[in-house]
Amino acid sequence: MKTVTSLFLILLVLSINAQEKLQTDQIETKKGILTINPVQHATMVLEWNNKTIYVDPHGGKNKFKSYPDPDIILITDIHGDHFNKETLNELPTSNAIFIVPPAVNEKMNGISNQEIITLKNGSKTKVDDMIIQGVPMYNLPETADSRHPKGRGNGYLLTMGGKKIYISGDTEDIPEMRSLKNVDIAFVCMNLPYTMSVEQAANAVLQFKPDIVYPYHYRGQNGYSDVNQFKALVEGGVAGVDVRLLEWYK
């Protein structure tokens, strides 16, 4: 009886730990480890091949004190939780290459940089060993007063070390996302009323089937979206998609 009880407790602990959100994650690539660091909401730091990539830095310089200075900074849109001048002006960005959509480039005055590369939806560039492509991100239906009109902001496809990484930015489950192919790693938003619901996000992921998906950017007007529900919907709907939960809201 004691052995059965001990086994039950071990399984219970393992089950609880499986649901805990990770503070970081690492993925093997052909050119070394990709380390994924969730920072806050839409903000992350990627470390790979001796390069440090900041995505939508926000939250003040103290959020980044544990990370190397940025070599590359990706900005998805003009809104303050993506393009945050206060944070950028606090960070050591003078040696960083910025990748931004045209609407953000118009607001870059006063921000230190090594270079600014402007990408439209569908355009791509190469920085060292990384290919970066701007992809559409927008709300449906397309209206004149849309929070995220088509063409203003970029999601991004990064190709690095043989891995294809999709960063959704602020989007709904648009056809361009659903038709993505051969995505290894995806970061998918879900926060109403700004982007999409848990169900929309899960349905889109089941369509393009990335190997690994991280729900991020999931704080909305009514609190946090249910990422455990997202995980259950995705993993219950198709074999082979690994949903990993990171801690975006410390």
Instruction: For residue range 140-174, list pLDDT tens digits in order.
Output: 988 877 889 999 999 999 999 999 999 999 999 99
The verdict on residue 10 lying in a domain is no
The verdict on residue 55 lying in a domain is yes
Residue 48 belongs to what domain range?
Answer: 22-243
Sheet strands (E) in the chain? 25-29, 32-40, 43-48, 51-55, 72-74, 97-100, 115-118, 124-127, 130-135, 155-160, 163-167, 185-188, 212-215, 219-220, 223-224, 242-243
Number of independent structural domains in the chain: 1
Band (pLDDT 50/70/90 cuts) for residue 229 is very high
The mean pLDDT of 15-29, rounded to a whole number, is 74
Band (pLDDT 50/70/90 cuts) for residue 50 is very high
Supply the pLDDT for residue 80: 78
Q: Is the pLDDT of residue 18 over 50?
A: no
- DSSP run (H or E) holding 237: helix 227-237
Strand order in the sheet with 97-100: 25-29, 32-40, 43-48, 51-55, 72-74, 97-100, 115-118
The verdict on residue 11 lying in a domain is no
The verdict on residue 248 lying in a domain is no
Supply the pLDDT for residue 20: 67
The mean pLDDT of 86-112, rounded to a whole number, is 97
Dump pLDDT digits (tens) for 125-134.
Answer: 999 999 999 9
The verdict on residue 13 lying in a domain is no
3-state class of 240 per DSSP? Answer: coil
The verdict on residue 8 lying in a domain is no
Supply the pLDDT for residue 237: 86
For residues 68 and 45, the answer to whether their CB atoms sit within 8 Å is: no
The verdict on residue 60 lying in a domain is yes
The verdict on residue 43 lying in a domain is yes
Q: For residue 207, give the CATH number of its domain.
A: 3.60.15.10
Q: Is the pLDDT of residue 8 over 50?
A: no
